[in-house]
Amino acid sequence: MVAQVPKRFKSTVEQEQLAMAALSAFAVPFAWEWLRSPPSTGLPDVDANAWMLSQYMERTWIAWDVAPVLWTYFDNVGPRTTA
């Protein structure tokens, strides 16, 4: 069973990681250096879930073969695809 993540924690680490798509592509590597290792909450289940989210972000978005310029929308001048 997956532990319930406290709302306070979700509103910081999870939202910060997921908000990387709103950054300019050049800023993604800098933000990821800071967000790669989630801070400890003192709750083992929450820390494990935060680490799993970090690993998911690494596998799916950071280490992906598609450059951040193609998945970030800060510099997008075309139609909105995230609304």
Residue-level pLDDT at 2: 53
Q: How many CA atoms, within 13 angstroms, populate the side-chain half-sphere of residue 78?
A: 6
User: Can you list the pairs that 65-71 forms with residues at least 24 positions away whose Cβ atoms lie under 8 Å?
Assistant: 67/25, 68/25, 68/28, 68/29, 69/25, 71/21
With 80 as the cut, is the pLDDT of residue 5 above it? no
pTM: 0.62
Residue 27 token pair: 């800023």
pLDDT bin (cut points 50, 70, 90) of residue 75 is confident
pLDDT tens sequence across 11-69: 566 677 777 888 888 888 888 887 888 888 888 888 888 888 888 888 888 888 888 88
| Nearest CA-CA partner of 28 in 68, 66, 75, 70 | 68
